[in-house]
Structure 1
Amino acid sequence: MDVNYDFDGTVALVTGASGALGGAIARAFHEAGAAVAAADVVEPDDDDGFFDSEGVRFYEGNFTDEGDVARVVDAIASDFGRIDHLANIAGTWRGGTPLDETDVETFDFLFDVNLKTMFLASKHVIPHLRETGGAIVSVSARSSLEGGTGDGIYRASKAGVRLLTETIAEENKGVVRANAVMPSVIDTEMNREMMPDADFDAWVKPEEIAQTVLFLCSDASSATSGAAVPVYGEA
């Protein structure tokens, strides 16, 4: 069954838009009629010309830097006149060593990229979302639900995303909804290169996760806030 969303007249800010998941979510919002403010610290590979599409604008900014976040959010609000949806997609994975062998630089990096970007983007966008009755969707992870071997710092940073999501929902009841999605392994080119012997068919595609993000920003999920939604597929 096909599901169609109508986001005409709304504005979606997508962080991490140069990545596979962020790019898929930006495209899904655009296909549903939203204007898209796509943000990332690096410019995207725009082979299909998407970022030059009408209603799409790219903003380069370091979302671990509060001054940069404030600058980008102010520019988006000025350019589009409003912000209705925030998709906190910026994030990454690092692992492979036990805790006692993990460099503190890895800790700082993962908490900056996975948690601080979500905190700063939410902090600066929430006042705009209160005006529009908007929604936030952030990316946590299935692995954040328990400890594990070799990537405890990653898991902890993504657990923080879940807890801040619940906090935003609690602090903005009836005004701004906030939810998180929890993927496992996502079917991206990078993950295929890292795990060439895995069963790719069991992985969830970025486009599938994008549909869940749109649902959580739509009126169809008006009763849902503070949730951590599994998007595991069969992974």
Structure 2
Amino acid sequence: MTATLPLTAIVTGGTGGLGTAVTEHLLSRGWRLVVPWCVEAELDRVPVHPDLELIHADLSVESDVEAVIDLATKDDQRPLYGVVNLVGGFVSGQRVHETPIEVLDAQLSINLRIAYSLVQTALPHLIRRGGGSVVCIGSAAAVRPFPGAATYIASKAAVGALVEALAVEYACDNIRVNGLLPTMIDTPANREAMPEADRTSWARPSDIAEVIAFLLSDSSRAVTGATIPVANTAGSC
């Protein structure tokens, strides 16, 4: 199946700082979107739109993941084609010998397990409909580590490995899988956490949204198994 609209995409984290930009951009491109949410206060960030369906879901719970997939696959006229995994978490500040193992477990859960679970549940539908495109958010830190965030870095590196494995495993099903490696993303939460930081090189959510739209489209039909850096190149000069 080619990415000829009208089609449906799931955007996890679609009410977050990055997700809002992705949601708005994909809606403007004609996609039907299913966006799981868990923080009610974030709902004010997304527009009211006839092609946007919001669903309250804890993506660490299998039954909630299944409910998201059920909603995304209910319209045979707009079949599920895209799966965009934006949910993630970040911790830093301690070296490995100072970090409880539970921190690693939590980072693997939010950064890797949720993406794995959602894609795993969506795959039978993508296979049956003849293909699709999966996009996962990794991190530039996975290839350029920095001290004090080993649990985060390890979990994001695992996302990159998952992308590469899925791309090989489902190539014959016409399912493409790619990952993005953003630098620090210029979101309100990151600005609040680092008010004195130089933001000139931070990746812009609108730019990332355009890359995701490209990876969901037929224009990227030759791209799979890639982990693509995304940054504010203009700000780094």
TM-score, normalised to structure 2, is 0.90
| In 2: Cα distance, 1:150 partner to 1:83 partner | 39
Q: Contact conserved, 2:11 with 2:34, CA < 8 A, in 1?
A: yes
Residues 167 and 175 of structure 2 are in contact (CA less than 8 Å); yes or no, is this contact kept in structure 1?
Answer: yes
Deviation at 1:124? 0.7
Aligned to 1:45: 42
Give the aligned partner of residue 228 of structure 2: 229
Give the structure 1 partner of residue 94 of structure 2: 97
Are the equivalent residues in 2 in contact too, given 1:40–1:90 (CA < 8 A)?
A: no
Letter in 2 for 1:11: T
**Is 1:215 paired with 2:214?**
yes
Corresponding residue of 1:3: none
Cα distance, 1:11 vs structure 2 = 0.4
Moved more, 74-83 or 31-40: 74-83
Q: What does residue 76 of structure 1 align with?
A: 72
**Equivalent residue, structure 1, for 2:53:** 57
| Equivalent residues of 1:12, 1:85 under 8 A apart | yes
- Counterpart residue number, 2:146: 148
Question: 5 Å matches for 1:1-235?
Answer: 8-43=5-40, 45-47=42-44, 50=47, 52-79=48-75, 82-130=79-127, 131-174=129-172, 175-234=174-233
In 2, Cα distance between equivalents of 1:144 and 1:48: 29
- Three-state SS of the structure 2 residue aligned to 1:78 is coil
CA distance in 2, matches of 1:232, 1:49: 24
Q: Which runs of 5+ in 2 are unaligned?
A: none
SS at match of 1:30: helix
For residue 132 of structure 1, report the CA deviation from its aligned partner: 4.1
Instruction: Pick closer, same or farther for the CA change 1:49–1:27 going to 2, 3 Å.
Output: closer
CA 171–67 in structure 1, closer or farther in 2 if over 3 Å, else same: same
Deviation at 1:163, TM superposition (A): 0.6
Q: Report if aligned partners of 1:18, 1:43 keep a CA contact under 8 Å in 2.
A: no
Q: CA deviation at 1:220?
A: 0.8
CA RMSD of aligned residues (A): 1.8
- Conserved in 1, the CA contact under 8 Å of 2:20 and 2:45? no
State the 4+ residue runs in structure 1 displaced beyond 4 angstroms. none
CA contact (8 A) 1:139 1:180 kept: yes
Q: 1:88–1:137: 8 Å Cα contact kept in structure 2?
A: yes
SS of the residue 1:17 aligns to: coil
Q: 1:46 to 1:75 in 2, by over 3 A?
A: closer
Identity %: 31
Unaligned runs of 5+ in 1: 1-5
Aligned residue identity for 1:62: D
Q: Report which stretch shifted further, 13-22 or 37-46.
A: 37-46
Tell me the distance in 2 between the aligned counterparts of 1:45 and 1:201: 26
